[in-house]
Amino acid sequence: MVGAFIAAGLVALFFLSMKVSNLSTMSGGEGYPVDARFDNIGSLKVRSPVTMAGVRVGRVSDIGFDSETYEAVVTMSIDSRYDTIPDDTFAKILTAGLLGEQYIGLDPGGSEQYLKTGDQIQLTQSALVLEEIIGQFLFSKAEEGSNSE
| Residues at the site binding other proteins, with contacts judged by CB under 8 A | 1-2, 4-6, 8-13, 15-17, 19-26, 47
Q: How far apart are CA 102 and CA 86, in angstroms?
A: 23
Nearest alpha carbon to residue 30 among 58, 64, 63, 53:
58
Please identify, using beta-carbon distances, which residue of 46 and 134 lies nearer to other proteins: 46
Separation of CA 38 from chain center:
12
Please identify, using beta-carbon distances, which residue of 26 and 129 lies nearer to other proteins: 26
Residue type, 43: S
20 phi/psi in degrees, rounded to 5: -95, -40
Query: CB 17 → other proteins: shortest distance, Å?
Result: 6
Please identify, using beta-carbon distances, which residue of 19 and 110 lies nearer to other proteins: 19
Query: CB 34 → other proteins: shortest distance, Å?
Result: 21
Q: Give the Cβ contact number of residue 94 at 10 Å.
A: 15
Query: CB 22 → other proteins: shortest distance, Å?
Result: 6
Query: CB 99 → other proteins: shortest distance, Å?
Result: 11
Q: How far apart are CA 64 and CA 1, in angstroms?
A: 51
Please identify, using beta-carbon distances, which residue of 20 and 55 lies nearer to other proteins: 20
